[in-house]
């Protein structure tokens, strides 16, 4: 649980939080187990916004598959970018940091979603905008700390993740609706 302390410190924009992560490849492999709670959290989030007429099991399986492909694709792209820029040795630290920081931001997102669902529309919108802005800064800061790169490179890696998610985010719902139509 020591990396969780590091992720929380990074969430507070404390650069010393990166020291709580094991930079070894073995640690990065061990931390891949965090994909399970991340996918479960995605399923909870998906269930809260599931439209009528969509079969739940099919949608959740599709959503989990797409989320796993999103994260894997993003990490593979970052691996190639870091290798190409001479920072390949920082990739295991990036993976561990990315996964633990994803746990923190996902937990914050689920709490914000629960509060927003019980709030009026203006309050819910404010919560959503605040969470998005915090997530962007948090992602940028943690990527910069993990990779040890300039601010612009860290911003580019965060934009790459956003583009990866945007490119595939609607896919599970589209496939589930197509399956429901038969």
Instruction: Read off the pLDDT band of 128 (50, 70, 90).
Output: confident
Q: Single out the residue of 48, 99, 39, 107 nearest to residue 69, CA to CA.
A: 39
Domain with 50, as residue range(s), is 2-181
| Percent share of the chain, pLDDT over 90 | 53
- Average pLDDT, integer, range 126-155: 93
Give the torsion sign (CA, 39, 41, 44, 50).
Answer: negative
Q: Single out the residue of 103, 108, 97 nearest to residue 134, CA to CA.
A: 108
Instruction: Read off the pLDDT band of 1 (50, 70, 90).
Output: confident
Q: What is the pLDDT of residues 167-179, one digit of tens each?
A: 887 777 777 777 7
Cβ contact 90:147 at 8 Å: yes
CA distance linking residue 135 with residue 108, whole number of Å: 9
Domain count of the fold of the chain: 1
pLDDT at 153: 92
Cβ contact 81:73 at 8 Å: no
- Average pLDDT, integer, range 29-51: 86
Q: Single out the residue of 85, 86, 101 nearest to residue 14, CA to CA.
A: 101
Q: What is the pLDDT of residues 80-114, one digit of tens each?
A: 999 998 899 999 999 999 999 999 999 998 888 88
Calculate the average pLDDT of the chain.
89
Instruction: Read off the pLDDT band of 13 (50, 70, 90).
Output: very high
Q: What is the pTM of this model?
A: 0.88
CA distance linking residue 42 with residue 110, whole number of Å: 9
Higher pLDDT, 148 or 52: 148
CA distance linking residue 126 with residue 45, whole number of Å: 18
Phi, psi of 85 (to 5 degrees): -105, 10
């Amino acid at each position: 649980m020591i990396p969780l302390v590091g992720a929380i410190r990074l969430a507070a924009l404390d650069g010393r939080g990166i020291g709580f992560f094991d930079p070894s490849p073995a640690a990065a492999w061990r931390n891949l187990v965090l994909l399970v709670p991340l996918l479960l959290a995605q399923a909870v989030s998906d269930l809260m916004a599931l439209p009528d007429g969509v079969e739940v099991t099919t949608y959740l399986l599709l959503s989990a598959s797409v989320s796993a492909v999103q994260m894997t694709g993003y990490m593979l792209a970052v691996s190639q970018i870091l290798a190409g820029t001479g920072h390949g040795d920082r990739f295991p630290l990036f993976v561990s940091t990315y996964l633990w920081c994803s746990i923190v931001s996902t937990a914050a997102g689920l709490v914000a979603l629960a509060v927003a669902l019980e709030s009026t529309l203006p309050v819910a919108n404010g919560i959503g905008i605040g969470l998005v802005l915090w997530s962007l800064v948090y992602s940028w800061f943690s990527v910069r700390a993990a990779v040890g790169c300039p601010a612009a490179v860290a911003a580019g890696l965060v934009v790459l993740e956003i583009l990866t998610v945007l490119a595939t985010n609607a896919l599970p719902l589209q496939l589930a609706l197509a399956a429901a139509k038969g």
